[in-house]
Amino acid sequence: MNLRILKSKLTYIFVVLGISVSVSCAQDRKGVDEQYLKNFLTIYNYVQQYYVEEVDQKTLYEGALKGMMESLGDPYTVYLDVQDMRGLTDTTSGNFYGVGLSISKANKSTPDKPAYVDVVSPIENSPGFKAGIQAGDKIIEINGDPTPEMSMEEVLSRLRGPRGEPVEVTILRGKTVTFKKILIRDLIQVPTIEYTMIGKIGYMRLIQFTPDTAPGVEKAINYFEQQGGYDGLIIDLRNNPGGLLDSAVKTADKFIDSGVIVSTKSRIASENKTFSATKKATIVDKGTPIVVLINKGSASASEILSGALKDYHVAYLVGERTYGKGSVQQVLPLFEKDGTNDGIKLTVARYYSPTDCNIDKIGIPPDMEVKMGNYSDEETATFIKLAEERVIEKYVEEHPSMTEDDIAAYAQELKKTYNMDIRLLRRLIRVETLRTKKAPVYDLDYDVQLVEALKIVKNPNFSSLVKSTKSLKQLQAEAEASENKE
């Protein structure tokens, strides 16, 4: 890559971003911007000619773009090399080889706050999910190398790879408990939705927002009606890391018949958009009792849907505060002559709920908080010991046809040696027995959040209950007032 090609690439970036200035410093652009560009090209050329060793032009080019993106301090704004661009295409197409963890990572790492890899959520039935990795865990090492100084692209390239090859991750859970897991890379198929009836309640779990999500929701509603109708709905968004904004809008439109679903605001005029509901697309009757399940693994498009349903008092939220990703990214490819391309992913806007609230780095609180067992460090250490010694795995291998009564009896036996919550022990045994089978859509024995959601959706006073909830605007105003008093 010579200086002429570098200039061409930089010019392309500025044109795409709507900045009317060329790298040759057009006459109509003066001042600091012009000087910075001149300095950059001068230093690039100087390093090429005088550095003690011969320098690969591509290395300088990629380093410059990585530094530019990282200087913004936004974990979602990154440089994407050719491999990253291919991986992004794989992810959005729904298939790739990896460990099945939706992750995020801060750009800046300090001794006081290392930039570990945050697990937003595991993908259902993936290697990461089966290994027991949870939303909120942190990956502190990959194959023995610390993650704080790795870029997001390095992390992804290490976690992905050929099918069947192992990768070792070191997990930090809570503040003190660490453990290692060896994950065998496999085909990751990005799932969309699962649904079934729980009595007369329609239950749908939205796993990720893809082009298939909204049609999947419509299929679920049709299925519920074919089963004799439904008295209420539960929409499970737990551990749903998001996906396509358009998919979230189309899904929300199934439940909301009018008004703004979400708006995006940017300093770029073309990115200031409003997405509104249409009565024609709505398929759920107004007043239908709806409960939405959320947790810290619910992010991005999940928060668009749950925020809209909350602001319009259409649904009651149960669970835990969501992740808090309220920004919109664009991928800008930078074309090479050989047909392959690198690119950048840039945050171009923030999205706002119907009551004009942005939840970035804040999240959405539930109307009723129900936590899924916050286990002590001692219980977590016991869980790790169980996993490392393969106690349950070995037992299930020897008893492949365990019934629910068998699971309950073995859990009681295990508790004599491993002092853990009995529901969790039953859950661990149940998951192991179903490892090679299709897991059930829900688990009422273990899932206290779902149990509470069922109670609420069946509440005869549901209409009054959901109308009494506060919009995101009211909640943020109260939080700001509280901060001002302090």
pTM of this prediction?
A: 0.77
Q: Tens digits of per-residue pLDDT, 196-229?
A: 999 999 999 998 898 999 999 999 999 999 999 9
CA–CA gap between residue 257 and residue 252 (Å, rounded): 9
**Per the structure block, which two tokens stand in for 232?**
């209420």
**Per the structure block, which two tokens stand in for 102?**
């939706």
Taking CA atoms, 263 is separated from 253, 277, 445, 452, 471, in Å, by 14, 12, 40, 32, 16
Percent of the chain with pLDDT over 70: 88
Q: Are the beta carbons of 102 and 121 closer than 8 angstroms?
A: yes
Q: Which residues contact 178 (CB under 8 A, 6 or more apart)?
A: 140, 170, 171, 172
Range from 110-124, 301-315, 352-366 carrying the lowest mean pLDDT:
110-124
Q: Return the pLDDT at 8.
A: 55
Strand pairing partners for 292?
235, 317
**Cα angle vertex 252, ends 307, 126, to 5°?**
85
Q: Tens digits of per-residue pLDDT, 414-467?
A: 999 998 899 989 988 998 887 656 678 899 999 999 999 999 999 999 999 999
Residue type, 5: I
The length of the chain is 486
CB atoms closer than 10 angstroms to residue 176: 9
Q: Are the beta carbons of 347 and 74 closer than 8 angstroms?
A: yes
CA–CA gap between residue 423 and residue 439 (Å, rounded): 17
CA–CA gap between residue 24 and residue 32 (Å, rounded): 14
Nearest to 134 by CA among 122, 123, 142, 116: 122
CA–CA gap between residue 178 and residue 175 (Å, rounded): 9
Strand pairing partners for 182?
168
Q: Tens digits of per-residue pLDDT, 305-361?
A: 999 999 999 999 999 999 999 999 888 888 665 666 889 999 999 999 999 999 999
3-state secondary structure at position 369: strand
Give the phi and the psi of residue 455 in degrees, each rounded to 5: -60, -45
**Per the structure block, which two tokens stand in for 34?**
């012009």
Residues classed as catalytic: 300, 311, 325
